[in-house]
Amino acid sequence: MVKIEAAHTRLFKNVFICRDCKTKIRADPRKIITGRVRCRKCKSSSFRQVKAKKGK
């Protein structure tokens, strides 16, 4: 259960992390899947989603 919906959206919606240099980038998921987004720092196109920490 999310305590504050606006904060959860801001932190996790459309946020991806570069697999090579661990830089956060906010982009449309469809662009990430098709490979049209590149990392600003290392120019890689491999990303993963941000993982939400599980609370108690």
In a domain, 7, yes or no: no
Q: What's the pLDDT tens digit per position in 3-47?
A: 888 988 888 999 999 999 999 999 999 999 999 999 999 999 999
54 assigned to some structural domain:
no
> Cα–Cα distance between 37 and 39 in angstroms, integer?
7
Range of the domain at 34: 14-49
Per-residue pLDDT at 56: 63
Give a yes or no: residue 43 inside a domain.
Answer: yes
Q: Is the pLDDT of residue 55 over 80?
A: no
Domain count, the chain: 1
Q: Is residue 2 part of a domain?
A: no
On whether residue 22 sits in a domain, the answer given is: yes
* pTM for the full predicted model: 0.81
Confidence at 54, pLDDT banded by 50, 70, 90: confident
* Token pair listed for 40: 């600003």
